[in-house]
Structure 1
Amino acid sequence: MRKNILLAGFLLTCLGGFAQHDAKARAILDKMAASYQQAGAVSIRFGGTQDGTLKVKGNKFYLNCGGIETWFDGTTQWSYVKQNDEVNVSEPSPEEVQSVNPYALVNSYKQGFNYRYAGTKSHKGKQGEEVTLTPETEQDVKSITINVSSASQPQYICITLQNGEKQEFYVQSYQTKQNLNDSAFRFDRSKYPDAEIIDLR
């Protein structure tokens, strides 16, 4: 489950000084963030370390990855673990949301990260401009590499942990302007009638 959360803590929040921030990298990240903000509700299919789907609308998201389904409606988070047939209900902090929602990374470079431009690189035949982010304070994540397409969309992310383990995320499908009702980001009890509810709030 932890590996799943860290992977999903993939795709990107900077109040500190910018002395260690590369101007070219910042321009790429700013353009990516602006493109994402204009995309409206987004539906993403990805592969890599784990396959999954992600739907995002504002600060709400739904993630299905590694046998775990997670819904977040902006306040409450439900995580359904298929193997145990149980749902953990919580009210996560902004930091905890970032660790679960891959696309929280789209804005996370603005707070708590240094970043540098790593050149033009290709992953699985898709070429883009690459930026490496490193946390300003020590944490489980050692670095995050993000490859951005010419359309300013994240197309590859690699999270490297302090122990050297890498989790890779390849965007296979990126659909914008999706018509997603708010109910898509809330757990529907009627679809999981036998699941055990564990309220952690």
Structure 2
Amino acid sequence: MKRITLYLLLVLGINATAFAQKDAEAKVILNQVSAKYKAYNIVKSDFTFVIDNPQSQTTITQEGTIVVQSKTNKYKLSLYSQDPTAKNLVEQEIITDGKNQWTYTKKDKEVQLNKVDNAGESFNPAQIFTMYEKGYKYIYTGSETLKGRVYQIIDLTPEDIDKSFFKIRLMIDKTKKQIYSALIFDKSGNKYSYTIKTFIPNVQVPESTFTFDTKAHPGVEVVDLR
């Protein structure tokens, strides 16, 4: 579970130092995606996350939901059970109010409370649609048509060569100007894919969405690591 969460957050948002050379065509496309996303207050997306391990010939699939308020650095990430008979059962949650972060694991009956790392090196799902802006070079590699929709393909390469992955391939809906999927190429040979199933802009949610409600989770131990 920890490894699944790590790579999910990796694709949802990464910060690093800026890379000097960028592909002009890719930049135009990515800027359109970023501008459209930033025009919304809160975005809610359902997604599918898949780990493909060719060495062991295994595939792990997990469904989830993320609610993001990027302007305030707030989000709620929910991962659901992999058990097909309990698809809507929340297995893990990561919630932040911009200052504090709660990581709740249901099976452990525990929530860890940490300060949000704003140093620029932390994983940050609030930057799901703007992650390319820092720490990557990028190149437009062409388009692909799936089920009648045209997707523009852009490859991101991290500046930090010590990262465990060497490339992220984005598929962007040409008409909607939205990220449809991201595929991480890990140096181990594994592939991690993230596909957006739904995208609901300006969704109305209570402010309490971005804090962990201990009353709604009786018996859960709070471990304060701040």
TM-score (norm 1): 0.90
SS in structure 2 opposite 1:10? helix
Matching of residue 171 in structure 1 with residue 196 in structure 2: yes
Letter in 1 for 2:79: C
Matching of residue 63 in structure 1 with residue 77 in structure 2: yes
Contact 1:11 / 1:154 at 8 angstroms: preserved in 2?
no
Provide the rounded CA distance (Å) in 2 between the counterparts of 1:176 and 1:133. Answer: 25
What displacement does 1:91 show?
A: 1.1
Letter in 2 for 1:24: E
What displacement does 1:8 show?
A: 2.9
- Larger deviation: 59-68 or 115-124? 115-124
Bigger-Rg structure (1/2): 2
Long gaps (5+) in structure 2: 51-61, 81-90
Are residues 125 and 93 of structure 1, via their aligned partners in 2, closer, same or farther at CA, if it must alter by over 3 Å? farther
What displacement does 1:48 show?
A: 3.5
What displacement does 1:92 show?
A: 2.9
Aligned with 1:156 (options 169, 181, 187): 181
TM-score (norm 2): 0.80
Provide the rounded CA distance (Å) in 2 between the counterparts of 1:28 and 1:190. Answer: 44
Contact 1:79 / 1:88 at 8 angstroms: preserved in 2?
yes
Identity %: 27
The match for 1:27 is 28
Letter in 2 for 1:107: T
Matching of residue 143 in structure 1 with residue 167 in structure 2: yes
Are residues 28 and 92 of structure 1, via their aligned partners in 2, closer, same or farther at CA, if it must alter by over 3 Å? same
Provide the rounded CA distance (Å) in 2 between the counterparts of 1:11 and 1:27. Answer: 21
SS in structure 1 opposite 2:138? strand
* CA RMSD after TM alignment: 1.9
What displacement does 1:158 show?
A: 1.0
**Superposition map of 1:74-153 within 5 A:** 74-94=98-118, 95-98=121-124, 101=125, 104-122=127-145, 126-138=149-161, 139-149=163-173, 150-153=175-178
SS in structure 2 opposite 1:6? helix
Contact 2:44 / 2:66 at 8 angstroms: preserved in 1?
yes
How many residue pairs get aligned? The number is: 197
Letter in 1 for 2:137: N
SS in structure 1 opposite 2:107? coil
What displacement does 1:42 show?
A: 0.5
Q: Residue by residue, what CA displacement relative to the aligned partner does 1:81-139 show, whole Å, maximum 9, x if unpaired?
A: 111111011113133232xx2x5242221111111102112467753101110100121
Long gaps (5+) in structure 1: none
